[in-house]
Structure 1
Amino acid sequence: MSTRSKKFLSYYKPYKGLFLSDMFFALMAAAISLVYPLIVRYITNDLLGKYDISQVFSTIIKLALLMIGLAVLEFVSNFYIAYQGHVMGAKMEYDMRNDIFEHYQKLSFNFYDNQKTGQLMSRITNDLFDITELCHHGPEDIVISIIKFVGAFVILIQINLPITIIVFAFIPIMFTFAYHMQHKMNSAFRKNRDRISEINAQIEDNLSGIRVVKSFANENREIDKFHDGNARFVESKRNSYWQMATFHSGLGMCTTFINIAVIVGGSLFIAKDIIKLADLLTFLLYINNIIEPVRKLINFTEQFQNGITGFDRFMEIMEIQPDIVDRKEAAGLKDVKGNIEFKNVSFKYNETKSEVFRNINLKVGAGDYVALVGPSGVGKTTLCSLIPRFYEVAEGEILLDGKDIRDIRLRSLRKNIGIVQQEVYLFAGSVMENIRYGNLEATDEEIIEAARNANAHDFIMELPDGYDTYIGQRGVKLSGGQKQRISIARVFLKNPPVLIFDEATSALDNESEKIVQESLEKLAKNRTTFVIAHRLSTIRNAGNIIVLTEDGIAERGTHTELLEKDGVYAGLYKLTQNAGQIMA
């Protein structure tokens, strides 16, 4: 048994009792359906014409009560498998969706750098929809089909062997046809899922960037792109519907041929007195009991292809191993001081051959304020992203208080590092909820205190509902400076000993920058702080400025010392000064 098959079956384990009861009622419903034609055969073959009217009437009343009882039992059985069976399938889908979402949380930035959000969403939503039906109907349809098929065959062979052979001669043809269509449908359904993933990715991309679309007046361009993607999806659906139409029409034709064969063969046998009319009637009634299982089994192949295609895409993600995980001996952090050291650190992205930087050696003492500057693309943000292990070093090691960060549990490491980014991400919800994200156990008073420290309290109180104001998706109802101060309040609430400011003020106007800069300086007090600087004026007072180039650390020192060297930093500073004069 393959690993994926074992994984699929493992989702039945928590619902073993529900699964067995579902199978029991499926078995009962199938068995009951085999009884009705036998009752009809008894009435037409043995009861009518052999007994007087009073005996016939009495027996028919008893048989009617028996059939009503069977009908009630069949109703209960079908209701149970239709309701509880689907509930079981939905619970299994729930478990799978939880598993893949939890797995998403474990994957590193390297994974997300190469993925489209819409396609990842499709794997956690659309791809799992059909699994509910497969988990429920798959085993149930197989059980019902086998019982009906074998039961009908045993009963019919005892009634008349030649007609039974005629009927069952068509079965291999039907299965061969189904097997032939299986691969075509699998390919068609797979293409459908790929196309709907592309559409989801396109929709997510468009809606996330709707302000850019409107600012360039490119709505028609986006509509045309969506129409093209939507047309490709319709074309793939057209192909899958063609395969389905061929499949169901072919199956229907086989069913018609079986009825024709039974009617013609049975008529000839009646003419030669080989079979009775009642037995021919019984055969015609049982044909449905034969065809329905075959139809269920063949429909199961379609259902299987739908479900297993989604499950395969689910497993494609689940089988991606996180490239950044806790070592077995990893331990949590206690009493973090914030001493950080880079030892011969090199890094490159997984899909590239060239290194972003190499042989970085840097010591930062507890409570030090370090600024990282340099041209775009030299790896300033990447260097800082190595500290919380968003990416893994290619060579060398990074030490926190003398301990290799790979020997520290990820959760503990990241709990002790606060990050304020240039592009602030706020969740849809209230101001209070977004600040509380820094410490989910914080009280309202602690949140308000964090907002005061971030110079955010005053503007928050001016919002329509204060701290309970809904700020929209990604905080669209707030200005850039307001969003940034909420993100700083979030880090104040987290209260980490190590901070990373990733160009936190570069996108703000001068007035907002001044307020945010004041908040950042208050936050950085007595904490080990890394500042990735875009505006060099914001780090003039830094005790240690590190200048990065493509060759690594080119210069280090204070603002004054670096200007005196008249090197890379001095050149960057002159550029920013000239740019400031031009803007002025």
Structure 2
Amino acid sequence: MSVPNQLLRLVLGHKGHLFFGVVFMVFYALFTVAPAKYMKDIVDALGSGKVPEQSRFILVGFGIVLLFFFKGITFFGQNYLMNSMGQKIIMELREKLFRQILMLPVEFHNKQSTGDLISRFTTDLTSLAEAVKTAISGPLRDLPQILILLGIMGYRSWQLFLLTLLLLPVAGWLIQTFGQQNQLVTTKRQSKYGDLTNLLNETITGIRIVQAFGMEGYEARRFKAENHRLFRYFLHSVKIGSYSFPILELIGGICGASVLTFGGYLIIHGQITGGDFASFIVAFFMMNEPIKKFNGFTLKIQEGMASANRIYEILQTENPIRDRSGSVLLEPLQKEIRIKVERFDYGGKAVLKDIDLVLPKGSITALVGASGSGKTTLANLLPRFFDVPDGMGVITIDGVDIRSATLNSLRGQIALVTQEIVLFNDTVRNNISYGKIDCDQAALEHAAKVAYAYDFITKFENGFDQEIGEKGQLLSGGQRQRLSISRALIKDAPILILDEATSALDTESEKEVQAAIENLMKNRTSLVIAHRLSTVQHADIIHVLKEGRIIESGSHRELLEQKGEYYRLYQLQFRDDPIED
């Protein structure tokens, strides 16, 4: 379905607001054009030479007050209803966009910049909100005025009316041309907004590196260059809006002069009265305002459509990682996990080949190898962050293909602790209970104790209610990792993935975290990715990967005896320590 049709469906979902808003707008149009209708009677009466009674003037004055009073009431009604409907539509779109981003797979997020995604929520939705409001209220408010005024003009003088119809298409063509120009500029501008937001995000999150390397000047120059590019696109939009207005004013002036000249000819030859002409000319100039608004309306709509296309580009992105038809609930692990991959490509390159692993229940399986050997990619297949293509392999839990299970039942059995610690700008309590938000205080404390986090948590002024800052910046690296282990313990999942969970820690922190990890692995089926071989020496089986293939498998002792790749890696890390016999 096209983007305009998608937006129309959202609008029609608010029929009550739309109906009463249209009613108010029709009455607003009637009250607005009323002076043009009654101008003939006033002018003709004054032109007849008869002086009206004072009471007639008082009556007309009272009518004018009532006219503007009801015009104000109807304006308030239509403006409030249309704006509230527009904001509700944007609220719904914002929620849909957020849900979609949450559901899209890791591969999508790897290819999208954070700044560009954020800009869809900020600049794009803001632009669309203005366009939705304008698109709904503009035509429904201004179009009835134009039609009614055209009707009055045609009724007063069909000759002048035909002249006007000959001149109006030029204005219509110009309005359309200006709108198309603005849409092209807006699409590029919104993309540049995403680039600027991404630069801001990278610089602020990496501020320690920026300052440590003395790159403040370099980053300031990068920001200035991006900011100037964005400025030029804004200036282009401003230029289109600036020259379109006087051009339309000029067209209006030419039309007005033509009407005035021809109208004078008709009066002189007695084909219309002065009242007819006055009524026509008032209607003509009153119509000039809503027509000029149509230009602004068109520019806003084109800007909004550029933003809507960017928003629906995300909303219409197909999610390949989803529940398949007939998906089943995956029962808790009873026997084993089997990972068999003939070939898995990423980015047009084969990253895994000829993989065949078995993880018995309760076992510890380690994956080691040089950077880029495929360890993390292999682990990412188990929770279906990526899917093995049909015919290229299968991953089963107790014989059930994980692609035939629901995502919730699969991921509900898996806890994940990574090298890149992800904590939220919230309390200790909410970070630990993230995977199980309804857990009680006793469970929180138990998890913290098992993860060796309880002691430092209780030293905080607010204990478990202590705010830890963005990404947990108020904590040390070891403290952050122990909180993430506490979070995995709270989830109490039977399958555990540890992705180089201690590689970024100092020796003292590593010992504390390693002790917490050993507690976490008890009675769980664990898949451990390790750079430091000291952390996997007690694994039941170690698989060595190189260029996407498993080239060695065995226990720590067996692999050392083989004197292959594992032995080489061990020697590199422990060259000063003799290998025990």
Q: Normalised by the size of structure 2, how large is the TM-score?
A: 0.95
- Quick check: 2:103–2:319 contact (8 Å CA) kept in 1? yes
Once residues 188 and 268 of structure 1 are traced to their aligned partners in structure 2, the CA distance between those partners, rounded to angstroms, is: 46
Once residues 37 and 317 of structure 2 are traced to their aligned partners in structure 1, the CA distance between those partners, rounded to angstroms, is: 56
**Bigger Cα displacement from structure 2, 305-314 vs 544-553:** 544-553
Once residues 302 and 193 of structure 2 are traced to their aligned partners in structure 1, the CA distance between those partners, rounded to angstroms, is: 17
Once residues 150 and 123 of structure 1 are traced to their aligned partners in structure 2, the CA distance between those partners, rounded to angstroms, is: 37
Once residues 163 and 199 of structure 2 are traced to their aligned partners in structure 1, the CA distance between those partners, rounded to angstroms, is: 55
Once residues 328 and 60 of structure 2 are traced to their aligned partners in structure 1, the CA distance between those partners, rounded to angstroms, is: 74
Letter in 2 for 1:368: S
| CA positional deviation for 1:217 | 1.1
**Unpaired runs of at least 5, structure 2:** none
- Equivalent position to 2:166, from 155, 166, 169: 169
Q: Pairwise mapping of residues 403-552 of structure 1 onto structure 2 (< 5 A)?
A: 403-550=400-547, 552=549
Does 1:240 pair with 2:262?
no
Q: Deviations over 1:521-570 (max 9, x none)?
A: 00100100011111111111111111111251111111111111111111
SS at match of 2:438: coil
Q: Deviations over 1:166-225 (max 9, x none)?
A: 333321111122222232111111121111111111111111111111111101100000
Number of positions where the alignment pairs a residue of Structure 1 with one of Structure 2: 576
SS at match of 1:358: strand
Aligned to 2:35: 36
| CA positional deviation for 1:347 | 1.4
Aligned to 2:570: 573
Once residues 146 and 271 of structure 1 are traced to their aligned partners in structure 2, the CA distance between those partners, rounded to angstroms, is: 33
Q: Pairwise mapping of residues 39-50 of structure 1 onto structure 2 (< 5 A)?
A: 39-46=38-45, 49=48
- Equivalent position to 1:360, from 351, 355, 361: 355
Q: Pairwise mapping of residues 85-96 of structure 1 onto structure 2 (< 5 A)?
A: 85-96=82-93
Q: Deviations over 1:129-160 (max 9, x none)?
A: 12223323213322333322222222222222
Once residues 288 and 132 of structure 1 are traced to their aligned partners in structure 2, the CA distance between those partners, rounded to angstroms, is: 31
- Quick check: 2:86–2:133 contact (8 Å CA) kept in 1? yes
Once residues 25 and 382 of structure 1 are traced to their aligned partners in structure 2, the CA distance between those partners, rounded to angstroms, is: 59
- Equivalent position to 2:111, from 102, 109, 114: 114
Once residues 428 and 318 of structure 2 are traced to their aligned partners in structure 1, the CA distance between those partners, rounded to angstroms, is: 36
| CA positional deviation for 1:124 | 2.0
SS at match of 2:575: helix
Letter in 2 for 1:450: A
**Bigger Cα displacement from structure 2, 288-297 vs 362-371:** 288-297
Does 1:380 pair with 2:382?
no
Q: Normalised by the size of structure 1, how large is the TM-score?
A: 0.95
- Quick check: 2:153–2:284 contact (8 Å CA) kept in 1? no
Once residues 262 and 156 of structure 1 are traced to their aligned partners in structure 2, the CA distance between those partners, rounded to angstroms, is: 11
- Quick check: 2:333–2:361 contact (8 Å CA) kept in 1? no
SS at match of 2:247: helix
Q: Deviations over 1:261-310 (max 9, x none)?
A: 23333334444444433333222311233212322332221121011111
Does 1:220 pair with 2:197?
no
Once residues 170 and 491 of structure 2 are traced to their aligned partners in structure 1, the CA distance between those partners, rounded to angstroms, is: 68
| CA positional deviation for 1:48 | 6.7
| CA positional deviation for 1:88 | 0.6
Q: Deviations over 1:335-360 (max 9, x none)?
A: 333621112443111x31x3101121
SS at match of 2:338: strand
Once residues 309 and 523 of structure 1 are traced to their aligned partners in structure 2, the CA distance between those partners, rounded to angstroms, is: 50
Once residues 152 and 371 of structure 1 are traced to their aligned partners in structure 2, the CA distance between those partners, rounded to angstroms, is: 80
Q: Deviations over 1:11-38 (max 9, x none)?
A: 1233111011111111111122221222
Q: Pairwise mapping of residues 44-83 of structure 1 onto structure 2 (< 5 A)?
A: 44-46=43-45, 49=48, 53=52, 56-83=53-80
Once residues 137 and 42 of structure 1 are traced to their aligned partners in structure 2, the CA distance between those partners, rounded to angstroms, is: 35
Aligned to 2:199: 202
Say what the alpha-carbon RMSD is for the aligned residues.
1.8
| CA positional deviation for 1:326 | 0.7
Letter in 2 for 1:122: S
Once residues 236 and 293 of structure 2 are traced to their aligned partners in structure 1, the CA distance between those partners, rounded to angstroms, is: 23
**Bigger Cα displacement from structure 2, 363-372 vs 157-166:** 157-166
Does 1:399 pair with 2:399?
no
Does 1:278 pair with 2:275?
yes
Once residues 140 and 579 of structure 1 are traced to their aligned partners in structure 2, the CA distance between those partners, rounded to angstroms, is: 77
SS at match of 1:125: helix
Once residues 332 and 158 of structure 2 are traced to their aligned partners in structure 1, the CA distance between those partners, rounded to angstroms, is: 86
Does 1:154 pair with 2:146?
no
Letter in 1 for 2:464: Y
SS at match of 2:501: coil
- Equivalent position to 1:260, from 240, 257, 261: 257
- Quick check: 2:450–2:519 contact (8 Å CA) kept in 1? yes
SS at match of 1:393: coil
**Bigger Cα displacement from structure 2, 284-293 vs 184-193:** 284-293
- Equivalent position to 1:178, from 161, 175, 181: 175
- Quick check: 1:533–1:539 contact (8 Å CA) kept in 2? yes
Identity of aligned residues (%): 32
**Bigger Cα displacement from structure 2, 432-441 vs 32-41:** 32-41
Q: Deviations over 1:228-260 (max 9, x none)?
A: 001111111222222222211211111222222
- Quick check: 1:422–1:504 contact (8 Å CA) kept in 2? yes
Ranges of 4+ aligned residues in structure 1 off by more than 6 Å: none
- Quick check: 2:82–2:136 contact (8 Å CA) kept in 1? no
Letter in 1 for 2:40: R
Once residues 540 and 149 of structure 1 are traced to their aligned partners in structure 2, the CA distance between those partners, rounded to angstroms, is: 82
- Quick check: 1:117–1:204 contact (8 Å CA) kept in 2? yes
Q: Give the direction of change, closer, same or farther, for the CA distance of 1:345–1:387 in structure 2 (3 Å limit).
A: farther
Once residues 419 and 580 of structure 1 are traced to their aligned partners in structure 2, the CA distance between those partners, rounded to angstroms, is: 32
Once residues 86 and 551 of structure 1 are traced to their aligned partners in structure 2, the CA distance between those partners, rounded to angstroms, is: 56
| CA positional deviation for 1:49 | 4.6
SS at match of 2:339: strand
SS at match of 1:578: coil
SS at match of 1:548: strand
Q: Give the direction of change, closer, same or farther, for the CA distance of 1:52–1:249 in structure 2 (3 Å limit).
A: closer
| CA positional deviation for 1:580 | 7.5
Once residues 143 and 48 of structure 2 are traced to their aligned partners in structure 1, the CA distance between those partners, rounded to angstroms, is: 36
| CA positional deviation for 1:52 | 5.6
